[in-house]
Amino acid sequence: MAKQSSRPAPITIFSSHLYLITDRHLAGLSHIQIARRAIAAGLRVIQLREKHMSKNELYNEALAIRILTGKYKATFIINDYIDIALAVNADGVHLGQEDMPVEEARKIMGKKIIGVSTHSLRQAVRAEQAGADYIGFGPMFATSTKDAGRPKGLGRLKEVRRHIKIPIVAIGGITQENFLPVLETGADAVAVMSAVLKGDIEKNVKGFYRRQNENLIQLL
């Protein structure tokens, strides 16, 4: 039997179905600049992902985003760094397979959101059993953004959806042209990087939402 999380599964934070992961190198902008543009376009779930900043720099960026997301009632997740997430009062943290176990993270994070990256059915089931609030699953399609192995495709996503109840955020190679079938297959949201960060961020975010609104019936 799956272990129950200490907080309700955060299905409501994925109601807009779009989850942005920041990357200052892809965008040529700082994380806070990315967040401002995305939020101005209506995006309401942002994950700060950064591997090469000092803790002081990362804290300052995270604090600025926390203030911004608080103002617009957007959900703010920080990748990996539980200490930074707690220091700025982020809404949660996202962990990889090599990061702290969910059970230990829960002791520190309390009722805050904990997401886990997964790449197989076994990992997805394990994350739910450990008490994760949601999983990231992928890569769905071929992508040059992050090396996470061979694309999983819609068939694997459907299989994972059948076996777990917590929200699924599909990631990897997501574009405006292919994200609707991913949502229709069972993902609660799609995580985007290149498809939003390369080019005009506001225009790209609005493009996702426009296509989503045009196909609202299929997503209900």
Domain ranges of the chain: 15-219
List pLDDT tens digits, range 19-35. Answer: 999 999 999 999 999 99
Backbone φ and ψ for 154, nearest 5 degrees, come out as -70, -30
> How high is the pLDDT of residue 143?
83
List pLDDT tens digits, range 105-155. Answer: 999 999 999 999 999 999 999 999 999 999 999 999 998 765 657 899 999
Site of tokens 């982020």: 90
At 162, the amino acid letter reads R
Pair type for strands 45-48 and 168-171:
unpaired
CATH 3.20.20.70 applies to domain 15-219: yes
Q: 167-198: b or e for each residue (b if 16 or more CB lie within 10 Å)?
A: bbbbbbbbbbeebbebbebbbbbbbbbbbbbe
Residues 109/92, Cβ–Cβ less than 8 Å: yes
Backbone φ and ψ for 116, nearest 5 degrees, come out as -135, 130
Using only C-alpha atoms, the chain has a radius of gyration, in whole angstroms, of: 16
Burial class of 161 by CB neighbour count within 10 A (0 to 12, 13 to 18, 19+): middle
3-state helix, strand, coil in the chain (%, to 5): 45, 15, 40
Q: Report pTM.
A: 0.92
Q: How confident is the model at residue 218 (pLDDT cuts 50, 70, 90)?
A: low
